[in-house]
Amino acid sequence: MRPLALFVASIAAAVLPTACVVASEPAPERSMTVPEAAGPPVRLMFLGDVMLGRGVATVAAGDPGSVFERLRPTLLGADLVLANLESPLTDRPHTAPGYALEADPAVASLLASAGIDVVGLANNHATDAGPQTVLDTIAATSQAGLRTVGAGADRAEAAEPLIVDVGALRIGIVAFDLAGGTTAGEASAGVNTWDTTLAKRTVTDLRARVDVVVVGLHGGVEYLPRPDPVLQRVTDELGSWGADVVWGHGAHVRYPVTVVDGGRAGVVAPGLGNALFDQTLPGTDSGAVLEVLVDQRGVVAMRIGGVAIVAGRTSFSGWDEPAGDAVALHDEWWTPVRALTEQPSAGCTGLDRDLVVGRLPAGSITVASDCGQITGTGRTEMVVAYRRPTSAEVLQDAFPGRRWADAEGRSAHLAVMEPDGRMRWGAATLIDPIATVAVCSGSVAVGLSTLDDPTVIEASAWRWHGFGFRTAPVLTRPTSIGCADVDHDGTTEPLVRRTIET
């Protein structure tokens, strides 16, 4: 993605460019309450494997604030953040065969300060220092203010769903281990191990009691470039049972996230890779952040970002461009999960189009226009993309060698016009000419072309912020632009229909 540069003239405006055996019967739920969200939809964020032992422990001991420093700002933007904790927090000696991933219980505070709210413990390392390791980890995380899911003092506790109230929504979370962890017994600590029959019963029971169902799943043959057949089968089953989000981890590499429709649209992430680890094999030094917007009907939209790990520290590397259709929410692009119905334009009824267009600069020709309420005045305004005879401008000196006018000597511009023809806001010469516009609620979807060909080749969204527009990153492969009420708040957001990237 690249930023769309917007240059302002006329009234006054500011430019901000942006560019992955036995299980227990379902057990009684346990609840926690987090601060009420500002309003629907609620934002949930998911990370893959977090490991705080070995090489990461050295960094955490010497420079604890740096471990999550460059990821923390992203996590704090969500209402609820979940991660799989791959390192037991205990002072007990390592007893299991294989790698020792145990970490100092005190580092639980790093998880909390990073913005993580819930950690999954249903994994193959949860009992590496013996079954009581599970209880040590639960105690350490609880003291830091975090909650756990997927492990416990016995079978019932390990299988117990965690119910989280976020505002008016009830989020149900259950976690399973597919990777060979120590299964909790009738009176012994361990993890909630996958069993198809009981897992289905748990998920369907939870589906009836909460608004949103999240299923954590730790498994998958490590380091494969795609989910193995067992992991694929299990994630497919979960999607068909009505899980809203399948939160996968364990393979230590990142897998594609998909949208499924098992009668209720959901998001399946077979593997989010590593969020923090000290592995060195290809693909293990990075992972994904999955963020979903949810309401009472499930997932509204999702987006995926990158995580990069360097020398025991993790950082956010930016949001990925949606692979298909995209909606603009708060200047960022999201993938719609539920089917969208485009809202028709409010039109320019009651506005004298000839009067308004006639007040554009002399010699102007209109390329595209649409009407709606943009700036918050309550009046219908017209957004006009137009060309006018070019003139020298200071900004052009910053881009030597670039063409600023078409074959007729006209440069590209955009204006917001009042009903009486006055220009409320206007842009100086645009770097990327606009070929089509769609006015949404306080924002505009724009289709971009070239100076000499009106074919739309890219798209963006501009949102009014009081004295100008903030711009979303430019998207490639658009097929059409429009508006839709994506988050069901009574207002519309820019929608770009696109060919799916393969």
3-state secondary structure 435-473: EEEEECCCEEEEEECCCCCCCCCEEEEEEECCCCEEECC
Q: Which CATH class is domain 30-322?
A: alpha beta
Per-residue pLDDT tens for 430-481? 989 999 999 999 999 999 999 999 999 999 999 999 889 999 999 999 999 9
| d(C-alpha 492, C-alpha 329), whole Å | 10
List the one residue out of 178, 300, 316, 185 whose CA is nearest residue 247. Answer: 178
pLDDT at 15: 28
Strand pairing class (265-269; 245-249): parallel
Q: Left, alpha or beta for 344 (phi > 0: left; psi -120 to 50: alpha)?
A: beta
Residue with tokens 């990821």: 71
Q: Which stretches of the chain score pLDDT less than 70?
A: 1-39, 262, 394, 502
- For the chain, give every residue range classified as CATH 3.60.21.10: 30-322
Angle at 389 (CA atoms; ends 395, 415), nearest 5 degrees:
70
* Secondary structure letter of residue 211 according to DSSP: S
Sign of CA dihedral 187, 189, 192, 194: negative
Specify the DSSP element, H or E, that contains 240.
Answer: helix 229-240
Please return the burial class of 394, using the count of CB atoms within 10 Å of its CB with bins 0-12, 13-18 and 19+.
exposed
Tell me the pLDDT tens digit for each residue of 149-205: 999 999 999 999 999 999 899 999 999 999 999 999 999 999 999 999 999 999 999
What number of CA atoms fall less than 13 Å from residue 97's CA on the CB side? Answer: 1
pLDDT of residue 3: 34
Query: What does the alpha-carbon distance between residue 268 and residue 259 come to, in Å, rounded to a whole number?
Result: 6
Torsion of CA 287, 291, 297, 300, to 10 degrees: -110
CB 502 within 8 A of CB 324: no
Alpha-carbon distance values, 91 to 144, 145, 242, 479 (Å) = 17, 20, 40, 58
pLDDT of residue 40: 72
105 in Cβ contact with 136 (< 8 Å):
yes
Sign of CA dihedral 86, 92, 97, 101: positive
Q: Give which of 121, 122, 198, 212 is closest to 163, Cα–Cα.
A: 212
Q: Answer for the pair 485, 22: CB distance below 8 angstroms, yes or no.
A: no
